[in-house]
């Protein structure tokens, strides 16, 4: 009795397994790319996109956020909120993608210069100090000169975070002495940093 049941189980498993071997999904009726057809009046198997079709994830209504420009001019504000965490993320992305050419300080002394390639500009050059933040976003998005586009490598909002970090680098290297003294005084009063701050 047990052997007969076992035999039926084996047969049933075999039938179920064989039924799963059909290739309907693999061998389905379909047209090859750009193949002709008599199904549609224009004879083309591929169909034109409907007017105003937008690809998934590509509905970019905020011009400033996705182009760095408004009416063709670079914006001088950040279209996303920039927090301390965003600056840290910007620094991380900068160190990965930008520092090999621009250096960790943004001074143009990245490792590529030591290998004989052309030195990129220093972020503290007056031209770049005066550049709106949208300029940096646009350069990362579309490339500039020898630099190619990073749009496919760096996410849109991360490009703004990098631009914010670049601005922080510029300000840190060009802070007026009075501002630096004020910050040191503030740190001493609050017990942050410096010899008087002690270890925490």
The secondary structure of 129-162, three-state, reads HCCCHHHHHHHHHHCECCECCCCCCCCHHHHHHH
Q: CB pairs under 8 A, 24+ apart, for 5-14?
A: none
Residue numbers of the chain with a pLDDT score lower than 50: 191-200
pLDDT score at 60:
85
pLDDT of residue 189: 58
The domain limits of the chain are 81-191
- The 3-state DSSP class for residue 70 equals strand
Rg for the chain, CA atoms, rounded: 30
pLDDT tens, position by position, 32-42: 888 898 888 89
- Which residue in 80, 88, 82, 85 sits closest to 64, CA to CA? 80
- CB pairs under 8 A, 24+ apart, for 6-11? none
Rounded CA-CA distance 132/75 in Å is 6
The whole-number pLDDT of residue 19 equals 65
CATH homologous superfamily of 81-191: Cytochrome c-like domain (1.10.760.10)
Write down the pLDDT at residue 28.
78
């Amino acid at each position: 009795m047990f052997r007969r049941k076992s035999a039926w189980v084996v047969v049933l498993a075999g039938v179920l397994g064989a039924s799963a071997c059909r290739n309907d999904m693999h061998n389905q009726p379909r047209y090859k790319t750009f193949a002709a057809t008599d199904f549609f009046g224009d004879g083309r198997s591929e169909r034109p996109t409907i007017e105003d079709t937008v690809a998934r994830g590509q509905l970019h209504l905020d011009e400033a956020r996705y182009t760095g420009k408004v009416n063709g001019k670079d914006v001088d504000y950040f279209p996303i909120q920039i927090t301390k965490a965003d600056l840290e993320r910007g620094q991380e992305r900068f160190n990965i993608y930008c520092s090999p050419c621009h250096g960790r300080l943004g001074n143009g002394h990245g490792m590529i210069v030591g290998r004989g390639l052309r030195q990129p500009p220093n972020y503290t050059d007056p031209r770049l100090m005066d550049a709106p933040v949208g300029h940096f976003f646009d350069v990362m998005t579309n490339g500039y000169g020898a630099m190619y586009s990073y749009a496919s490598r760096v996410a849109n909002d991360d490009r703004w975070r990098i631009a914010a970090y670049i601005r922080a680098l510029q300000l840190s290297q060009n802070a007026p002495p009075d501002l630096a003294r004020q910050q040191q005084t503030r740190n001493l009063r609050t017990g942050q940093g410096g010899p008087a701050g002690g270890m925490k």
